[in-house]
Amino acid sequence: MVRSYLALRRAVGVLGVTLPVILTLGVLVLDSSQGWQDTISDYIGTVMRGVFVGVLFSIGVFLYFYTGYEPADDKKPYLPSDNLAGNMACVFALGVALFPTNSGNTLVRTVHFVSAAALFLTLAYFSLALFTKTGGAMTPHKRTRNKIYRACGVIILVCIALIALYGWFLRDSSLATVKPVFWLESIALWAFGWAWFVKGEGLAPLNDE
Full DSSP string of 100-153:
-TT-S-HHHHHHHHHHHHHHHHHHHHIIIIITT--SS---HHHHHHHHHHHHHH
- Overall pTM > 0.85: yes
Q: Given this model, what pLDDT does residue 73 score?
A: 47
Percentages helix, strand, coil for the chain (3-state, rounded to 5) are 75, 0, 25
> What total of structural domains would you count in the chain?
1
Task: Taking the CA atoms of 162, 110, 175 and 42 in sequence, report the sign of the dihedral they define.
Answer: positive
> In the chain, which residues have pLDDT < 50?
72-73
145-204, pLDDT tens digit by residue? 999 999 999 999 999 999 999 888 877 777 878 899 999 999 999 999 999 999 888 877
Cβ-based burial of 18 (10 A; exposed 0-12, middle 13-18, buried ≥19): middle
Domain around 170? 2-206
**What contacts 83, CB < 8 A, 6 or more positions away?**
66, 67, 68
Angle subtended at Cα 54 by Cα 60 and Cα 59, rounded to the nearest 5 degrees: 25
Angle subtended at Cα 169 by Cα 110 and Cα 162, rounded to the nearest 5 degrees: 75
Half-sphere exposure of 134 (CA within 13 A, CB side): 14
Burial annotation 129-141 (CB, 10 A radius, 16+ → b, else e)? bbbbbbeeeeeee
How far, rounded to the nearest angstrom, does the alpha carbon of residue 28 sit from its chain's CA centroid? Answer: 23
Q: Given this model, what pLDDT does residue 72 score?
A: 46
